Amino acid sequence: MCEANAYIDHEGKEELFMESVDIIKPEAENRLLIMNIFGDQKILHGKIKKISLLNHKILLEKIK
């Protein structure tokens, strides 16, 4: 399976935001819809920093 884990970068420290992510959909300026393979959804007020598919890793940045 090719899902990835999403982490929020806090000044270099990575905090798990969601496991087994399937969908990433920017919905508006600095607003991301993220859905896992089970259909659970989360909204992040933030943006994508980097996605590495081979590493199964999505790095996000929260915007205050």
In the complex, the residues that contact a copy of itself under the rule CB under 8 A are 1-4, 21-26, 37, 47-54, 56
- State how far the Cα of 32 lies from the Cα of 26, in Å rounded to an integer: 4
Of the pair 10, 49, the CB lying nearest a copy of itself is at: 49
For a copy of itself, the closer CB: 10 or 25: 25
Measured CA to CA, the distance from residue 31 to residue 2 in angstroms comes to 24
Residue 55 CB, nearest approach to a copy of itself (Å): 8
Nearer residue to a copy of itself within complex by CB, 42 or 49: 49
